[in-house]
Chain A
Amino acid sequence: MATTAEPVTRLVEELSKLPGIGPKSAQRLAYHILRSPNKEAHDLAEAILSLKEKIHLCSICFNITDRDECSICQDEGRDHSKICVVERPSDIPPLEHTSKYNGVYHVLHGAINPSRGIDTEVLKIKELMIRLSSDEVKEVILATNPNLEGETTAMYLRRLISPLDIHISRLARGLPFGADLEYADDVTLGQSIEERRDF
């Protein structure tokens, strides 16, 4: 005979499927939810359901949104002549947090990784090229990650975009703020020297 009631076991099982949650943590969370008021548990369940039901991709930039077009694409105050190309929707909040960028975005949903079968067909590259075919766009900022897959994607995009009359830029690479030269890795330090700027 099971020592724990079935609904608790079921919730523990479901919670332990989440990343970083082991069976012990799942059990703690399950008992916390059990002790909390009905409304809190209801709100949590509803929040999870509405996330899956309401969230879809923006028809323009493919960021996640609960509307047809995301709030950034709808914002008339933003500079729609600049498109910042990122790998994932989660790359947008940190860029927005800097308050240094006022253009719009395009989410590729991945980066080229041939050995994992992620090629140009899987990514939202065709959709980007359709956006770029309008005269409105003047600059594309390639903000894919500075790793092998991100660089490959950026080089591929540069090859596609360069025939168009659009300025292409890439996020700067080099030392992060607060770094120590003594402990910087050779690749990053090398790039910082190569891509040094006038001061």
Chain B
Amino acid sequence: MRTSRSYQTHAIIIKQSKFAEVDKIITVYSSEFGKLRALAKGAYRPGSKLGGNVEPLTYSLLMLARGRNLDIVTQSQCIDGFSSLKSDLWRTSCALYILELVDSFTVQSSENGALFNLLIDTLQRLNTAGKDEILLRYFELNLLHCLGYRPQLYHCVVCNSSLKPVVNYFSPSLGGVICPICRGNDFDSRIISVNALKVLRLWQRCDYTTAAKVKMRPALQLELEQELQGYIGWILQREVKSMLWLKELRGEMMLDNSTENH
């Protein structure tokens, strides 16, 4: 209960900012209360007992005391530090992107258990699994679902007719797919191929283990990325900065690989 003077919650630390000399303000996504901001006093001191438990990208059990403006972290225990992914540049960058998405899409004190579970599952998978970008796409699609932005992929969002297995169009502003007849002058919509639509439909209803089994050509992967990025960008009305970094990093890594192969 948050009415008592102190309470505890399981939370993922999503970002931090420095406050005064050695304190930090952390933003966390918690299981019971959604997004919270709290003050971690003395967290920048080398011997602080909070220390690594309140670093971004850590899953911790936090004990908080209600404060006048900000609640204060009094105790913390690390549940998962995701140490494996933190030692890999690409996976760390993917995790930063995931955290930024959660931060951008959520408002304070709005509980969403499904999103919390999705976040934990995704970070744990990223910690143990390889570098597959399907995980990011699956997360994006299901994040949208958890927050009420689930795209309509079965019926045309204009005329409500069932979509036929032909090239259709995805309209970010209408939140779903429109059939070629209704597309008319809606030039904001993008072409969505039959295969991309099939994959998105599957990912909407299956668990990650099944989702990860889908084998895709790079062109299809790119199409899915662009569709989802376009939709996310439209909802947020801005680009996700960590995605720009991921793209930059991916470009550099591809360049490295091609020089190694020559």
A residues 160-199 touching B (CB-CB < 8 Å): 176, 178-179, 183-188, 190
Task: List the A side residues contacting B46 at CB < 8 Å.
Answer: 176
Task: List the A side residues contacting B248 at CB < 8 Å.
Answer: 119-120
What is the CA–CA distance of A177 and B136 in the complex, to the nearest angstrom?
41
A113-152, CB under 8 A of B: which get 1 and which 0? 0111101100000000000000000000000000110011
A156 within 8 A of partner (CB): yes
What is the CA–CA distance of A183 and B48 in the complex, to the nearest angstrom?
9
Evaluate contact between B78 and A115: CB separation under 8 angstroms: no
A93 to chain B, nearest CB (A): 16
B172 within 8 A of partner (CB): no
Evaluate contact between A114 and B241: CB separation under 8 angstroms: yes
What is the CA–CA distance of A119 and B249 in the complex, to the nearest angstrom?
10
Evaluate contact between A190 and B100: CB separation under 8 angstroms: no
Evaluate contact between A187 and B241: CB separation under 8 angstroms: no
Evaluate contact between A176 and B78: CB separation under 8 angstroms: no
Evaluate contact between B100 and A115: CB separation under 8 angstroms: yes
Evaluate contact between A114 and B92: CB separation under 8 angstroms: no
Task: List the A side residues contacting B50 at CB < 8 Å.
Answer: 185
What is the CA–CA distance of A120 and B57 in the complex, to the nearest angstrom?
21
Binds A, one of B29-37, B82-90, B149-157: B82-90
Select one of B20, B47, B78, B256 contacting A186, CB under 8 A.
B78
A100 within 8 A of partner (CB): no
Evaluate contact between B92 and A148: CB separation under 8 angstroms: yes
Task: List the B side residues contacting A77 at CB < 8 Å.
Answer: none
Evaluate contact between A179 and B89: CB separation under 8 angstroms: no
B185 to chain A, nearest CB (A): 36
A residues 33-60 touching B (CB-CB < 8 Å): none
Closest Cβ neighbor of B48 among chain A residues: A185
B244 within 8 A of partner (CB): yes
Task: List the B side residues contacting A95 at CB < 8 Å.
Answer: none
Q: A114-B241, A185-B76, A187-B58 are in contact. Are A152 and B96 (CB under 8 A)?
A: yes
A7 within 8 A of partner (CB): no
Closest Cβ neighbor of A120 among chain B residues: B248
Evaluate contact between A116 and B241: CB separation under 8 angstroms: yes
What is the CA–CA distance of A186 and B51 in the complex, to the nearest angstrom?
9
What is the CA–CA distance of A148 and B12 in the complex, to the nearest angstrom?
14
A159 within 8 A of partner (CB): yes
Evaluate contact between A187 and B81: CB separation under 8 angstroms: yes
Q: A115-B15, A115-B103, A115-B241 are in contact. Are A20 and B51 (CB under 8 A)?
A: no
Please list the residues of chain A having a beta carbon within 8 angstroms of any beta carbon in chain B: 20, 112, 114-117, 119-120, 147-148, 151-152, 155-156, 159, 176, 178-179, 183-188, 190
Please list the residues of chain B having a beta carbon within 8 angstroms of any beta carbon in chain A: 15, 20-21, 46-53, 55-58, 76-78, 81, 83, 86-89, 92-93, 96-97, 99-100, 103, 241-242, 244-246, 248-249, 256
Question: What would 14 more interface pairs be, CB under 8 Å, given A119-B248, A186-B53?
Answer: A20-B21, A112-B245, A115-B100, A148-B86, A152-B96, A155-B87, A155-B92, A176-B47, A178-B47, A184-B51, A185-B52, A186-B52, A186-B78, A187-B83
Q: List 16 A-B contacts (CB under 8 A).
A: A20-B20, A114-B242, A115-B103, A119-B248, A176-B46, A176-B47, A178-B47, A184-B49, A184-B51, A185-B49, A185-B76, A185-B78, A186-B52, A187-B52, A187-B78, A187-B83
